[in-house]
Amino acid sequence: MKHNPTHIGQVESVSGNSVTIKMASNYPSNMPIINGIVYRIGQIGSFLKIPLGYANLYGLITQAGVLAMPESLLMAYKENPSVVDGHRWLRMILVGEQIGSSFERGVLQSPTSGDQVHLVTNEDLRIVYGGYNAQSAIVIGNQSASEGLAAQLDMDKLISRHCAILGATGSGKSNAVSILVKAIAEKPFPSARVFMIDPHGEYASTLSGKCRVFRVGSNPEAGEEELCVPFWALPFKELMAIFPGKLSDQNEDYIRSKALELKRISASVIGGLREEAITADSPIPFSINQLWFDLDNFERITFKADRATPENLITVGDPATLRSNQYPPAGLGSSAPFLNTKGKGILGFLDGMRSRLLDQRYNFLFRPGGYSPSPNGATPNDLPSLFSTWFGHGFPVSILDLSAIPSNIMQTISGCILKITYDALYWGQNTLVGGKKQPLLVVLDEAHAYLKSGEDSISSRTVQAIAKEGRKYGVGMLLVTQRPSELDETVLSQCGSIIALRMTNTRDKGHVSAAMQDELREMAEVLSSLRTGEAIVSGEAVRIPSRVKFFQAANAVKSSDPIASKLWAKERPKASEYEICVRNWRNQSFN
Ligand SMILES: Nc1ncnc2c1ncn2[C@@H]1O[C@H](COP(=O)(O)OP(=O)(O)O)[C@@H](O)[C@H]1O
Ligand SMILES: [Mg+2]
């Protein structure tokens, strides 16, 4: 009888939806060629099928080799390896069934021992992977099982149910993000809205023509916009956290009340606001220089003999340049000038605050262009114009390039940007720019840099809120990290889809497999042997869990690893290069 080339073995045992397969010992090749296409047998993450009369059951290989043997046999094998007598073993989980040309996830019937197991050909796979809605499907690469077959994702599910891209450094996460976002951006949607936090400034080149870039020290000729994050839009506590030094609760409350006074004044200028709704957390401009000056003055002031009349100033200070008022110093004992006995003892904190306010690296925050408040709190531009510059431009993607931001405040800033955005979309939920009417996809690359589990920071609180309820308000999240084990578990568990790239760290693998569907946990082992750009994609955005090779982005992402053997083959650069190098360093610029 002629050997059917797709037949590879038979079902040996079934437990739940896990099936053990004994491969035929006479199977001619590991890489059979059927209709001119080479198939690889026994690849973890590839499919097999079990024909049952009118239906075909499909399973995904999760284990291969001796460990895939049934328990009983494995014991015997350990005592006497010859019992295997040339057979190979596979374990798979059943994932769906095909009737005619339609494929459904989940199985109604169960195979039995002795049922024949077949390779899945490209024609079969077309049925399995077909059935995406053309409007929302995006193509991100090829199926590893068969390179001629596109790997697709359902963009709607990806956005509404959140997604995590996990993998070691260099496993291809940033490339995967570029491909995914590009695929979304290339759809003919006039009001698509993707917001990327880009800690390394990697994405502008791969997404050029589809994005607007916001960065500190922008190059307007390249179409970039200056990144401004007005400090006054931050909740009070987060604003204080930017300054070095700690405040007692009492002193924090004291400063809070002073900030509130200033916000109240500018609220009356803006008009149309409910007075009782205004708190120190309200996104209302106020002059932080004035706040500093008033607080500082209160600490420094000295009084005449009546202990009520301020002494005459020696030097008149200035809020604009953050110069203190100077009074005649208080004398010792019982003669004037007298100290301000109500002073709070916060001059140390105020000094730290002043130096931060003067630090040019923080200009994007404290001198945010047209959003800088004058002493009475008025600003030339207000938040509506900030949001329209962030999202109202003609491109589907907004990239916030944070590469120029000092790393010690990276966490606060990315948190603040997210918080401001999420709050705006939340409160605007009934408007046409709210998330419910115009969903937003937030891409958080290198999330471990600003999201640590157990840390009560603005970024982790905001991301947790988005993970838990962003769905209701039309805010989806694409979270990218190389350290899933450092990520808050509730955040990871809220991700409906997981794209797991190569990963070798055992703890990280554990976290990833815990986040994947139960049946796929056995597959965690394969994660360490994935090729660069190859991933196990599972969850709601795919019809069926699959092993996928992402396309490579055309303009390689900027962080592409330098290739030493190629670069060292060039002439040694002139020593004068170091002049430029140091000048750039001193100017804090890259060119
Ligand atoms: N699908 C892919 N095919 C081929 N090369 C890839 C693929 N994905 C990534 N690479 C390459 O691997 C390197 C690391 O990729 P990158 O996306 O920066 O990894 P990560 O963000 O995980 O550190 C880059 O040089 C990139 O060009
Ligand atoms: Mg990266």
- CATH code at 409? 3.40.50.300
| Counted domains in the chain | 3
Asked whether 199 lines ligand 1 (CB < 6 A), one says no
Residues 355, 419: one domain? no
Residues 226, 240: one domain? no
Residues 110, 170: one domain? no
Q: What is the pLDDT of residue 99?
A: 87
Minimum-distance ligand 1 atom for the alpha carbon of 482: 22
C-alpha of residue 552 to centroid of ligand 1, in Å: 7
Residues 419, 521: one domain? yes
Ligand 1 atom 2, closest CA: 533
* Domain termination site, one of 77, 103, 130: 130
Residue 544 lies in domain? 138-230+368-372+381-553
The ligand that comes nearest to the alpha carbon of residue 206 is: 1
Q: What is the pLDDT of residue 583?
A: 87
Q: How far apart are CA 235 and CA 177, in angstroms?
A: 31
Residues 308, 431: one domain? no
Tokens coding 504: 């070798």
Find all residues with CB under 8 Å of 346, minimum gap 6, and list them. Answer: 247, 251, 255, 295, 299
Asked whether 513 lines ligand 1 (CB < 6 A), one says no
Residues 219, 260: one domain? no
User: What residues in the chain have per-residue pLDDT under 50?
Assistant: 1
Residues 441, 295: one domain? no
Q: What is the pLDDT of residue 1?
A: 43
Minimum-distance ligand 1 atom for the alpha carbon of 501: 22
Longest dimension (CA), the chain: 117
Q: What is the pTM for the complete model shown?
A: 0.83
Q: How far is CA 182 from CA 174, 197, 380, 471, in A?
A: 12, 15, 35, 22
Residues 61, 103: one domain? yes
User: Does 564 fall in a domain?
Assistant: no
Residues 23, 107: one domain? yes
User: Does 525 fall in a domain?
Assistant: yes
Residues 118, 179: one domain? no
User: Does 560 fall in a domain?
Assistant: no
Residues 409, 533: one domain? yes
* Domain termination site, one of 107, 130, 153: 130
Ligand 1 atom 1, closest CA: 533
Q: How far apart are CA 73 and CA 84, in angstroms?
A: 8
C-alpha of residue 532 to centroid of ligand 1, in Å: 6
DSSP per-residue letters across 178-207:
HHHHHHHHTS--TT--EEEEETT--HHHHT
Residues 401, 523: one domain? yes
User: Does 44 fall in a domain?
Assistant: yes
C-alpha of residue 218 to centroid of ligand 2, in Å: 22
Asked whether 285 lines ligand 1 (CB < 6 A), one says no
User: Does 428 fall in a domain?
Assistant: yes
Q: What is the pLDDT of residue 250?
A: 96
User: Does 561 fall in a domain?
Assistant: no
User: Does 398 fall in a domain?
Assistant: yes
H runs (alpha helix) in 395-448: 407-427
- Stated as kind and residue range, the H or E segment containing 59 is strand 55-64
Ligand 1 atom 4, closest CA: 552
User: Does 440 fall in a domain?
Assistant: yes
Minimum-distance ligand 1 atom for the alpha carbon of 202: 18
* Domain termination site, one of 104, 130, 156: 130
Q: How far apart are CA 259 and CA 77, in angstroms?
A: 75
